[in-house]
């Protein structure tokens, strides 16, 4: 055999051996696992609009989000309005999940992926279940730890397990299923742009009153009405915190309006705007927490806004942060100090 023929035969043999080795490797388990690339819920995307409830079971309890005539609400919080956009994103996220990689089948390793049974003490998993309006099951999955980055996915991934099965998966997709109930509630109570606010008057039960105001809507800073002689502002912008007390105000909890607050322990805050809106806030401290209620009225176009505020907040008592409460119930001594005499 000539050298050229021998070389050609050598190359052909080498290529054949490599190909054979590749095929053998494929047969020995290097193929993509069965199910990889498939949707976790193949038919859910066509039925996302049929979803009437999202139930999240976790180690500390249950969150039930349900859609009714007045929109989405949370059952465990007296059917208070829930965050519609967040709920829709969660449902769509579940519908778009795809199996990316099979993981462990060993129950003793579930904890690492946060995929223990949700009812187990200390479990960090969440069981997400979707139902339609007739109560029929649309989907259910145990959701575990998030993986923020995943090749081929802009939304990262999440570890999942089907109830009753030991096979765990890394799924691609961005299903955000939190077990923090506050994250599902519509937290905005009221949002009055500070530029609109004309005057804020705070009446304390001990008789002390604080009033701040602006001359025009274009005026940048609020001023204390009738500043006491011999006093000056601790911080020039201090009164602005009072003027902004109803800007982007958020709840920390809610309850149905209970009996009237004790007048001897209630702060009354009145906020009026240049365009005719008037909001009265009654606030009180109870068991170390701050709670308040709203009343609203308005003239002209502001009357519609007042009606909307009443319709949304009427009948509810809100728990707010200590920071928000400090602005609603500010005292004069929080803003002023003795002026230094001129030398």
- HEC secondary structure over the chain: CCHHHHHHHHHHHHHHHHHHHHHHHHHHHHCCCCCCCCECCCCHHHHHHHEEEEEEEECCEEEEEEEECCEEEEHHHCCEEECHHHHHHHHHHHHCCEEEEECCCCHHHHHHHCCCCCCCCCCCCEEEEEEECCCCEEEEEEEEEEECCECCECCCEEEEECCCCCCEEEEECCCCCCCCHHHHECCEEECCCHHHEEEEEEECCCCCEEEEECCCCCCCCCEECCCCCCEEECCCCHHHHHHCCCCCEECCEEEECCCCCCHHHCEEEEEEECCCEEEEEEEEEECCEEEEEEEEEECCHHHHHHHHHHHHHCCEEEEECHHHHHHHCCCHHHCEEECCCCC
Percent of the chain whose predicted confidence (pLDDT) is above 90:
83
Of the three residues 184, 203, 221, the one that is the final residue of a domain is 184
Range of the domain at 91: 44-184
Q: Is there a single domain that holds both residue 200 and residue 326? A: yes
Domain boundary among 184, 212, 227: 184
156-169: average pLDDT: 97
Instruction: Return the pLDDT at 152.
Output: 73
pLDDT tens digits for range 282-302: 999 999 999 999 999 999 999
Asked if residues 82 and 91 have their Cβ atoms less than 8 Å apart, the reply is no
Asked whether the predicted pLDDT for residue 270 surpasses 50, the reply is: yes
Place of tokens 């819920």: 41
3 domain-assigned: no
149 pLDDT band, cuts 50/70/90, is confident
Q: d(Cα 213, Cα 197) in Å, to the nearest integer?
A: 8
Average pLDDT, integer, range 250-261: 91
What does the pLDDT look like over 322-334, one tens digit per residue?
999 999 999 999 9
In the chain, pLDDT over 70 holds for what percent of residues?
90
Cβ–Cβ contacts within 10 Å for residue 22, how many?
A: 11
Tell me if 138 is assigned to some domain. yes
Residue 12 has pLDDT above 60, yes or no: no
- Is 19's pLDDT higher than 90? no
Whether residues 163 and 250 share a domain: the answer is no
195 and 173 part of one domain: no
Whether 23 maps to a domain, the answer reads no
Same domain, 235 and 307: yes
What average pLDDT does range 242-258 have in this prediction? 95
243-258: average pLDDT: 95
CA angle 6, 11, 13 (to 5 degrees): 90
**156 and 254 fall within a common domain:** no
Q: Mean pLDDT in the chain?
A: 91
The answer as to whether 150 is a domain residue is yes
Exposure string (b/e) for 80-117, b if CB count within 10 Å is 16 or more? bbbbeebbeebbbbbbbbbbbeebbeeeeebeebbbbb
Distances (CA, A) of 222 to 16, 213, 219: 85, 5, 8
Tell me what pLDDT residue 199 has.
99
**Structure confidence at residue 304 (pLDDT):** 97
Residue 212 lies in a domain: yes
Are residues 110 and 230 located together in one domain of the fold? no
Determine how β-strand 253-256 pairs with β-strand 316-320.
antiparallel
Residue 44 confidence (pLDDT): 98
pLDDT category at 78 given cuts 50, 70, 90 is very high
pLDDT band (50, 70, 90) for residue 226? confident
What is the Cα–Cα distance from 30 to 42, expressed in whole angstroms? Answer: 26
* Residue 239 pLDDT greater than 60, yes or no: yes
* Alpha-carbon span 4 to 1, nearest angstrom: 8
Q: What pLDDT, on a 0 to 100 scale, did the predictor assign at position 136?
A: 98
Residue 143 to residues 84, 103, 155, 175, 184: CA-CA distances in angstroms? Answer: 21, 14, 15, 9, 17
pLDDT digit string (tens) for 99-110? 999 999 999 999
For residue 22, being part of any structural domain is answered with no
Same domain, 128 and 246: no
More confident residue, 21 or 230: 230
- Look at residue 176 and tell me whether its pLDDT is greater than 70: yes
Decide if 35 is inside a domain: no
Q: What's the rounded Cα separation, in Å, for the pair 168 and 162?
A: 8
- From 165, 184, 203, the end of a domain falls on 184
Do 172 and 208 fall into the same domain? no
The number of distinct structural domains making up the chain is: 2
Is the pLDDT at 174 greater than 90? The verdict is no
């Amino acid at each position: 055999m000539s050298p050229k023929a021998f070389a050609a035969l050598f190359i052909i043999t080498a290529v054949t051996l490599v190909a054979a080795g590749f095929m053998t490797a494929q047969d020995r388990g290097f193929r993509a696992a069965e199910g990889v690339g498939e949707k976790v819920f193949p038919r859910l995307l066509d039925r996302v609009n049929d979803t009437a409830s999202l139930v999240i079971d976790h180690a500390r309890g249950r969150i039930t989000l349900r859609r009714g005539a007045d929109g989405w609400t949370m059952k465990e919080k007296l059917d208070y309005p829930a965050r519609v956009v967040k709920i829709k994103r969660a449902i769509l996220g579940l519908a778009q999940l795809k199996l990316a990689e099979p993981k462990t089948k060993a129950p003793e390793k579930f904890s690492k992926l946060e995929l223990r049974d949700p009812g187990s003490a200390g479990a960090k998993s969440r069981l997400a279940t979707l139902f339609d309006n007739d109560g029929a099951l649309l989907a259910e999955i145990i959701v575990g730890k998030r993986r923020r980055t995943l090749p081929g996915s802009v939304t990262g991934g999440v570890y999942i397990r089907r109830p009753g099965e030991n096979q765990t998966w890394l799924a691609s997709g961005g299903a955000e299923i939190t077990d923090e109930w506050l994250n599902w509630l519509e937290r905005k109570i009221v949002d009055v742009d500070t530029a609109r606010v004309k005057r804020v008057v705070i009446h304390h039960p001990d008789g002390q009153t604080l009033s701040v105001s602006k001359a025009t809507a274009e005026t940048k800073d609020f001023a204390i009405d009738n500043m006491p002689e011999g006093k000056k502002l601790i911080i020039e912008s201090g009164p602005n915190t009072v003027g902004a007390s109803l800007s982007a105000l958020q709840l920390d909890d809610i309850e149905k309006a209970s009996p009237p607050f004790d007048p001897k322990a209630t702060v009354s805050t009145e906020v009026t705007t240049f365009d005719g809106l008037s909001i009265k806030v009654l606030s009180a401290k109870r068991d170390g927490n701050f709670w308040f209620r709203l009343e609203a009225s308005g003239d002209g176009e502001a009357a519609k806004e007042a009606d909307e505020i009443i319709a949304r907040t009427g009948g509810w008592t809100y728990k707010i942060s200590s920071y928000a409460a400090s602005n609603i119930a500010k005292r004069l001594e929080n803003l002023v100090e003795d002026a230094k005499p001129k030398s």
